[in-house]
Amino acid sequence: MDWFADSFSTVQQWLYESVVQPLAFALGAGNLLELAYDGTGWLVVGLLQIAVMVAVIGPLQRLWPVEPVRDARAVRVDVIYTLIHRLGLFKLVMFFTFENWLEAGIGELRGRGLPTFHLDQLWPGVTDGALVSFIIYLVVFDFANYWLHRAQHRFNWWWALHSLHHSQRQMTMWSDNRNHLLDDVLRDLLFVLLAIFIGVAPGQFVALVAISQLSENFQHANLKIWFGRIGERLWVSPRFHRLHHAVGIGHETPIKGKLSAAGPPQSAKAPSGLSPAAPILPAQDGTGRRAVASGIGLSSAAHEVASVGVKLGGYNFGVLLPWWDLLFGTANFERRFDPTGVRDQVERGRDYGTGFWAQQVQGLKRLVGRA
């Protein structure tokens, strides 16, 4: 891997000296050169990720798609989200908005005696090896990500933001970064704090983020692929994650008890905006006509949710590893590829916005109960 690290550093240095540094001086930002150099590293990572997406995942989507692309505009909006995040624009805004506050807060905690727990020092000579420590940090981050993801589906205020991610009816490799910006701010701050307090080195943090994001691009891809009975339990596949996005399955948990004509049982309290009694409709194409693509159908689980009460929850929260879903009882390994979207969006036509800014505004309105 030394050759890769050396090549990466060479490209980063060249891009910094040729483009970023002259631009910083031209803008009168010579005092931010250290930040500019770090930002150049993230830019190189983002360009590499996009190259892999276009050269590898894109052709796979064309070879083995789950469904035809019916809404190209929705995909183009997802591309905008990806470029904002992968080319460093979001990180740049985060730095100027939160860096001073974050440093002050961490300094205060350090002053009160909060130490850094270096996980790579658990077993000197073993856990401090580059590969071993990387695997340890990846597992720890994924465990934290699992519970954070469940929280996004557990609390109504957080779901009001996170539901934007699930509102994509035309899921592709570009859909990973389709998030409300406030949702991303909360998530990124939490993981930066985690990285600091468990002693993740900056280079390792970049590698962890880069590999995780690329895997998530693959998981969100319009790909009719699964990893087999054993592989599905080792790493999250496109099929496993698509079930998490499936209408009425991935982000809802059935409440036992049949519905009567009068509505859900007394014990079934559905969250605001969800209709436990309403049927789940098939996917729609770009014209609004109902359609089910070849190979896509509503599962028995979806029909079950249609006949019982539901609450926020769901299945397949694992981001990289399905281990946590297996361990905590949230795994669903059904061998199917269902339509994606949010229940109230599909059944009632709830507006989640079509363009980037409209989606951001609608998310804030949902957060304050105005949409």
Residues 199 and 341 reside in one and the same domain:
no
- For residues 198 and 308, membership in a common domain is answered with no
- What one-character-per-residue DSSP string does 56-116 give? IIHHHHHHS-SS----HHHHHHHHHHHHHHHTTHHHHHHHHHHHHHHHHHHHHHHHTTPPP
Segments forming the whole domain that contains residue 344: 228-367
- 279 in any annotated domain: yes
pLDDT score recorded for residue 310:
67
Q: Are residues 137 and 175 in the same domain?
A: yes
For the segment 140-194, what is each residue's pLDDT rounded down to a tens digit? 999 999 999 999 999 999 999 999 999 999 999 999 999 999 999 999 999 998 9
Q: Are residues 281 and 187 in the same domain?
A: no
The predicted pLDDT at position 290 comes to: 38
Residue 1 within a domain? no
- Given a contact cutoff of 8 angstroms between Cβ atoms, the answer to whether 221 and 172 are in contact is yes
What beta strand segments (E) does the chain contain? 252-258, 308-312
Query: Could you tell me if 211 and 193 lie in one domain?
Result: yes
Regarding whether 212 and 354 lie in a shared domain, the answer is: no
Which of 164, 192, 220 terminates a domain? The answer is: 220
Query: Which residues of the chain register pLDDT less than 70?
Result: 1, 254-310
Same domain, 196 and 248: no
What is the structure's pLDDT at 283?
Answer: 39
| Whether residue 209 sits in one domain with residue 251 | no
Is residue 2 one of the residues assigned to a domain? Answer: no
Whole-model pTM: value is: 0.83
What pLDDT is recorded for position 255?
Answer: 67
248 dihedral zone (left: phi>0; alpha: psi -120 to 50; beta)? left
Measured in whole angstroms, how far is the alpha carbon of residue 318 from the centre of its chain? Answer: 10
Domain membership flag for residue 266: yes
Domain boundary among 160, 193, 220: 220
The pLDDT, as a whole number, for residue 272 is: 36
CA-closest candidate to residue 159, choices 325, 17, 352, 305 = 352
Residue 112 has what pLDDT? 79
The answer to whether residue 173 is domain-embedded is yes
| Residue 317 maps to a domain | yes
Q: Residue 1: what pLDDT?
A: 59
**Whole-number Å distance between alpha carbons of 111 and 120:** 24
Q: Is residue 314 part of a domain?
A: yes
